[in-house]
Amino acid sequence: MPVIITTVAALRAACSAARSEGRSVGLVPTMGYLHDGHRSLMRAARAECDFVVTTIFVNPLQFGPTEDLDRYPRDLEGDIAACRDEGVDAVFAPTVLELYPQYPPATTVHVAGLTDALCGSSRPGHFDGVTTIVAKLFSIAGPCRAYFGRKDAQQLAVITRMAADLDLAVDVIGCPLVREHDGLARSSRNAYLDPHQREVAPAIFAALRAGVDAVRAGARSARALEAIVTERLAAHPELRVEYAEVRDAATIAPIERLEGQVLLAVAVFCGSTRLIDNVALRVSGESVDADLGIGWNS
C-alpha cells in the first residue's frame, strides 16, 4: 500500500530520504480520476525508478472561470487503489490550501510562445496554471524523472521547455498516448459523455487517421491537411470543432509544409465536453511515420 502524503514538507522529506539511500525518484503528476493512461505512466516510472510518487491534485489555477473545476471527476479512494495496483510507493494528495497558502498566488510561471496557440488560444491562463503547479511539484520532489502522457502534446512541450529554460533538475519523459479499443483517447473527461456521445466520440480519432492517410498518400500542405480533418469532423453534428491544426511538434509554431517532427492536433466539443487528441508525424521526403497511440484495435 502506498504511503499517503498530504504536506509539502513530508513529500520533500520522503524524496530526499530516497535519494540519500541512492534511490532514484519517479514523479507522476495527475489530477486524479486515474485511468489506463495514468496507469501507463506509473508503470513507466516503476520500470525506471526506485521510488515512485503519484500526485493527485485538481489544480484550480488551470481552470478558467467558466470551466468545470467543481464537477471535475474525483475518486481519491479509487485512485489510491490504482496506485497500489501499479506499485506506487507514495501518493501526494494535498489540499488547495497546502499548495496555495495564498490564492491566487502572487508568483506564477509563464512560457511565452508555446502557450499562445491551440489550447492556449481558447483557455487564457490555463498553461500558466499548469506550469506553476508543475514547477512547484518539481521543486518539492527535487531531482527526479517526471512522466507525462503525449495526449496532452502541447502541455508536454510547454513543460519540457520550462524545465530546460529554468535548469530544473528533472528529466521530463513523454509516454505514449493510450486509447480505448475504438480509438478514443483515454481522458478523465470521457466520464462526462452520455452513451450516445460516447458512440460518436471515436469519430475524432477517425478524422485524425484520415489525415494521416492523406499524408501517407503524399499530402504535404498543412492547410490542406487541416481541411481534411475538419471536414471529417464536421460530418458529425454532435461534434463542434474548436481547432484542427498542424504545428511544429517541439515549438508549437505554425508551419506551411509538413517536414520533420509535426503535430496534428484537435480540440472538439462532444456535447458540452471538450476533448483533445493528436497524432505525431515524422515526415522526411516520401517517408512518413505516425504515432497513433496504443491500446486500440488497429
Question: Helix 76-85 vs helix 36-48: angle between axes, to the nearest 10 degrees?
Answer: 40
Q: What is the pLDDT of residue 68?
A: 81
Q: Is 236 a catalytic residue?
A: no
Q: What is the pLDDT of residue 67?
A: 87
Q: What is the pLDDT of residue 43?
A: 98
* pLDDT bucket at 143, cuts 50 / 70 / 90: very high
The number of distinct structural domains making up the chain is: 2
What does the pLDDT average to over 52-56? 98
Cell of 267: 480540440
Provide CB contacts within 8 A for 76, sequence distance 6+: 32, 56, 93
Find the domain containing 231 and state its range: 188-291
Residue 152 CA to residue 141 CA, distance in Å, equals: 22
Q: 269 lies in a domain?
A: yes
CATH of the domain at 144: 3.40.50.620
The catalytic position among 38, 126, 181, 236 is 38
Query: If DSSP codes are grouped into helix, strand and coil, which group holds residue 259?
Result: coil
Tens digits of residue pLDDT in 35-53: 999 999 999 999 999 999 9
Tens digits of residue pLDDT in 61-105: 999 988 889 999 999 999 999 999 999 999 999 999 999 999 999
Instruction: Provide the mean pLDDT of the chain.
Output: 97
What does the pLDDT average to over 128-150? 98
Q: 180 lies in a domain?
A: no
Q: 182 lies in a domain?
A: no
CATH of the domain at 201: 3.30.1300.10
Q: What is the pLDDT of residue 179?
A: 98
Cell of 82: 490504482
Q: What is the pLDDT of residue 95?
A: 98
In a shared domain, residues 7 and 154: yes
In a shared domain, residues 123 and 213: no
Tens digits of residue pLDDT in 108-119: 999 999 999 999
Domain end (from 175, 209, 242): 175
Residue 164 CA to residue 179 CA, distance in Å, equals: 29
Q: What is the pLDDT of residue 66?
A: 84
